[in-house]
Amino acid sequence: MLEHIGLDYPANNGPRLLFADHHEKIEKACDALRAATYGEDSLELIARYRAFERAMLEHMAAEEEQILPAYAAEAPDEAAEIRATHDELRRQLYGLGVEVELHCVRAESLEQIVKTLRAHAAREDARMYPWAQVHLPLRTKEELVTRIARSLRSLAP
């Protein structure tokens, strides 16, 4: 368990629970970003965007470094599709970041990221995470739990 970082995620339960929770928190952060977009405080919008972006990038990096190499041996086409979606999400994040910095966020940009995230999360929850739950070594699961827990804390309001 990870009481030392304020979370109760036993590593033997692995990435499935933790990553599903992270997907939910990322979506909530996206909703908060959407709300800040229509607010008057541009500094709040930038801060929320940066936290959202950091969490997204860390989440994808953790998957790419600690799950996808092993998963690619089992399901190469699925792993390639997940990587391609990560690349698309990075492209969308970059575009959204430019809009945030220029204070001209388009609702369509946020909606597209939410749509991509939901489809991507559903795919991972259905396929990759159940595989990782069974096949990843305990040490890798522990590293994932620690890494993603840090990212979850950064999303907290």
Per-domain boundaries in the chain: 10-152
Q: What is the model's pLDDT at position 26?
A: 77
Q: What is the model's pLDDT at position 3?
A: 38
Higher-pLDDT residue of 36, 97: 97
Q: What is the model's pLDDT at position 67?
A: 94
Structure tokens at 31: 């909703």
Q: pLDDT tens digits, residue range 28-69?
A: 877 777 777 777 778 888 888 888 898 889 989 999 999 999
DSSP state of 136: S
Confidence check: pLDDT of 91 > 90 = yes
Cα 82 from Cα 5, distance rounded (Å): 29
Confidence check: pLDDT of 80 > 70 = yes
The Cβ of residue 36 has, within 10 Å, a number of other Cβ atoms equal to 21
Please determine, looking at this structure, whether the domain spanning 10-152 carries the CATH number 1.10.10.10. Answer: no
